[in-house]
């Protein structure tokens, strides 16, 4: 019995991890097989996993023609897409969702963020299927989860039913599609995971078919001059981008000075003409006919999600809104997506030598695109390679310090009566960087805005921020730390008052300031019709922490959708007919509350 419990616990372990993958400095185990290409000494990197998959066990969870809004391995903000997004029509919710195979409900997770309302089916063949952003569940599952809501008196819950308590057969109705959680629009997020590792797998590996009649397209090539001195300042190398021109690039022969270089590319794929942009799982880079780098994305460990910031050029993405996939294994990248990476994919250019470069990309059905160009070594050349570099706007008030990925880094800056403290744990940075903090001269509501490095420098996990106010208020529990996005959007990062500082943890560098939130959330548009109720709740600064709906002081389940500020619920049958006191209480993270109440008749 104990052995079964341990195995079951491993199967359904929570996979919404903090993505705290160990990101150590540039490691690779690939040896050069070509004497013309220099190779570094091999060190350990996880080997790509080779496995065969059952082809006839699973079916698509939605009936009819399958069209995708996103595919497996697609590059998202701070993570790889771990499944496929199945379209459910233009703005449609409530589409029936069916079990992809025999099994039992192993986990149900209800959250206002992430996957929203999500269902997990454990299958007897060693895999788990996942269904995210659901609107509602089939009756048996819905009745079970409703009881759990009322037992815990909470909207956001996670539950793991006993094995085979809720069995399902392939094709059984299990739920209805929706737009809950972090969804940007109505669709069904669908995954298949390996029970042994917990990793997400490409569902197409299991024989699920798609109508895909469009080949992928390479849009541009980027050449990197691998100068670590320049990288210390901005997080990326000097680079030059070349647009596509026919089967080559805008400059078909590049003259490059002697040195070490690497390549990147931007590309796109579609299932059909006019369809959504898709990512590419497969790519190969050849130099003089030899394969020197290969990308193969079929299995994604959730702990490696944020390593996407090594896989693509995050600083260029953040600064220029340009998505460049690196065709080399950069520092800090421990992903197992690269079956071949000779010399980590770097190419040493020598004077007067010719290098024929070819990039081939392929989508899952096998459609290909390629691009060819030539590099000539020329010790005096930089004429047709004008390398760009990113620049930080320097400020004499900035304090600078080298931060390293393999140790804990700390920094403190005092400016008048104010103080900023930063603590970045070991393995949170991907590479060594010249870290900067300082006031940028801006003020919001009389409070200084601090540059804590830059959002162009990615981090692999959370770090600590402590801000000491110049003039502390009498009720410091109202303080909240706010991060500003590049577009100026305010993102609350929370904060607790301790030892004269507002302290919090964040997962993005950039601009921060503290503010005071003494304003209660707003409740509006409340409607009660029969046994259904709805309304809107909104908080303009620190964010909503808790929504409690009661009828005659009895707790009532209330759904909350933050992206639309919408709340809704159904009055259960244990509330009898007659007149009752209906109340909604909303509290933000700083303890500010607002209430709405009325008398209702059932």
The closest alpha carbon to 61, from 100, 96, 88, 89, belongs to: 100
Question: Percent of the chain beyond pLDDT 90?
Answer: 76
**Do 461 and 568 fall within a single domain?**
no
**Residue 257, in any domain of the structure:** yes
User: At residue 338, does pLDDT exceed 80?
Assistant: yes
**Per-residue model confidence (pLDDT) at position 275:** 87
**Do 478 and 540 fall within a single domain?**
no
CB atoms within 10 A of CB 120: 24
Query: DSSP state, 170?
Result: T
pLDDT range class, residue 384, cuts 50, 70, 90: low
CATH number, domain containing residue 157 = 2.70.70.10
pTM: 0.87
Q: Which domain holds residue 285?
A: 217-377
**Residue 12, in any domain of the structure:** no
Average pLDDT of 70-81?
94
Over residues 281-334, the pLDDT tens digits come to 999 999 999 999 999 999 999 999 999 999 999 999 988 888 999 999 998 999
Over residues 399-437, the pLDDT tens digits come to 999 999 999 999 999 888 889 999 999 999 999 999 999
Average pLDDT of 139-165?
96
Phi, psi values for residue 113, rounded to 5° = -120, -170
User: At residue 441, does pLDDT exceed 90?
Assistant: no
478, 493, 516 - which closes a domain: 516
**Do 225 and 315 fall within a single domain?**
yes
**Per-residue model confidence (pLDDT) at position 48:** 47
Task: Give the residue carrying structure tokens 């590479």.
Answer: 431
Phi-psi region of 68 (alpha: psi -120 to 50; beta: other; left: phi over 0): beta
**Per-residue model confidence (pLDDT) at position 524:** 97
Over residues 481-500, the pLDDT tens digits come to 999 998 889 999 999 999 99
HSE value, Cβ hemisphere, 13 Å, CA-based, for 218: 32
Average pLDDT of 372-378?
93
What Å distances lie between residue 46 and 242, 302, 333, 488, CA to CA?
Answer: 33, 15, 11, 40
**Do 221 and 202 fall within a single domain?**
no
**Residue 572, in any domain of the structure:** yes
Average pLDDT along the chain = 88
316, 346, 377 - which closes a domain: 377
Over residues 230-266, the pLDDT tens digits come to 788 778 888 999 999 999 998 888 889 889 999 999 9
CATH number, domain containing residue 597 = 2.60.40.10
What Å distances lie between residue 359 and 129, 266, 322, 570, 598, CA to CA?
Answer: 34, 11, 19, 56, 66
Range of weakest confidence among 117-121, 440-444, 530-534 = 440-444
**Do 173 and 312 fall within a single domain?**
no
Which of the pair, 148 or 7, is modelled with greater confidence?
A: 148
**Do 473 and 562 fall within a single domain?**
no
**Do 94 and 148 fall within a single domain?**
yes
**Do 422 and 556 fall within a single domain?**
no
Give how many domains the chain has, as a whole number.
4
**Do 469 and 506 fall within a single domain?**
yes
**Residue 384, in any domain of the structure:** no
The closest alpha carbon to 501, from 401, 417, 590, belongs to: 417
**Do 353 and 438 fall within a single domain?**
no
Range of weakest confidence among 374-383, 446-455, 526-535 = 374-383
**How far is residue 278's CA from residue 369's CA, in Å, rounded to a whole number?**
14
181, 206, 231 - which closes a domain: 206
**Do 114 and 247 fall within a single domain?**
no
User: At residue 35, does pLDDT exceed 60?
Assistant: no
């Amino acid at each position: 019995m104990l052995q079964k419990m341990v195995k079951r616990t491993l199967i359904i372990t929570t996979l919404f991890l903090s993505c705290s993958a160990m990101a150590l400095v540039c490691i690779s185990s690939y040896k050069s097989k070509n004497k013309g290409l220099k190779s570094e000494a091999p060190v350990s990197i996880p080997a790509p996993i080779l496995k065969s998959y059952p082809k006839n066990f699973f079916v698509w969870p939605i009936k009819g023609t399958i069209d995708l809004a996103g595919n497996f391995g697609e590059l998202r903000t701070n993570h790889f897409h771990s499944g496929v997004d199945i379209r459910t029509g233009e703005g449609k919710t409530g589409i029936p969702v069916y079990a992809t195979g025999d099994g039992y409900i192993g986990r149900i997770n209800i959250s206002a963020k992430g996957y929203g309302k999500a269902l997990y089916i454990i299958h007897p063949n060693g895999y788990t299927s996942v269904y995210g952003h659901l609107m509602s569940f089939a009756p048996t599952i819905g009745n079970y989860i409703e009881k759990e809501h009322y037992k815990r008196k909470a909207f956001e819950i996670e539950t793991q039913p006993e094995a085979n308590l809720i069995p399902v057969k392939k094709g059984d109705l299990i739920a209805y599609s929706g737009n809950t959680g972090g969804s940007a629009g109505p669709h069904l997020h669908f995954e298949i995971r390996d029970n042994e590792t917990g990793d997400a797998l490409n569902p197409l590996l299991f024989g699920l078919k798609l109508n895909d009649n469009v080949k992928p397209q390479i849009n541009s090539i980027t050449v990197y001059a691998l100068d670590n001195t320049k990288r210390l300042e901005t997080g990326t190398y000097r680079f030059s981008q070349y647009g596509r021109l026919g089967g080559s690039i805008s400059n078909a022969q590049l003259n490059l000075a002697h040195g070490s270089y690497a390549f990147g590319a931007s590309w796109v794929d579609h299932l059909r003409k006019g369809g959504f942009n898709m990512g590419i799982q497969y790519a190969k880079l050849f130099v003089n006919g030899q394969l020197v780098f290969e990308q193969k994305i079929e299995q994604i460990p959730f702990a490696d999600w944020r390593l996407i910031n090594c896989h693509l050029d995050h600083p260029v993405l953040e600064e220029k809104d340009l998505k460049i996939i690196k065709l080399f294994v950069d520092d800090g990248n421990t992903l197992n997506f690269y079956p071949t990476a000779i010399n980590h994919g770097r190419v040493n250019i020598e004077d007067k030598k010719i290098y024929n470069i070819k990039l081939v990309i392929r989508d899952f059905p096998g459609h290909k695109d390629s691009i060819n160009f030539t590099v000539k070594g020329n010790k005096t050349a930089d004429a047709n390679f004008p390398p760009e570099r990113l620049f930080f706007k320097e400020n004499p008030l900035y304090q600078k310090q080298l931060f390293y990925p393999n140790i804990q880094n700390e920094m403190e800056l005092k400016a008048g009566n104010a103080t900023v403290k930063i603590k970045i744990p070991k393995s949170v940075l991907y590479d060594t960087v010249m870290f900067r903090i300082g006031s940028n001269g801006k003020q919001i509501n009389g409070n200084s805005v601090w540059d804590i490095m830059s959002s162009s420098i990615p981090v692999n996990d959370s770090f600590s921020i402590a801000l000491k106010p110049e003039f502390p208020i009498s009720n410091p529990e109202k303080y909240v730390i706010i991060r500003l996005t590049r577009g100026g959007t305010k993102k609350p990062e929370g904060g607790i008052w301790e030892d004269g500082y507002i302290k919090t943890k964040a997962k993005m560098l950039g601009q921060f300031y503290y503010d005071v939130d003494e304003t209660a959330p707003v409740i509006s548009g409340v409607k009660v019709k029969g046994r259904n109720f709805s309304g809107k709740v909104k908080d303009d600064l620190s964010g909503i922490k808790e929504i409690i709906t009661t009828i005659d002081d009895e707790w009532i389940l209330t759904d909350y959708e933050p992206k639309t500020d919408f709340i809704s619920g159904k009055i259960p049958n244990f509330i009898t007919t007659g007149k009752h006191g209906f109340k909604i209480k909303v509290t933000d993270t700083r303890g500010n509350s607002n209430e709405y109440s009325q008398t209702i008749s059932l």
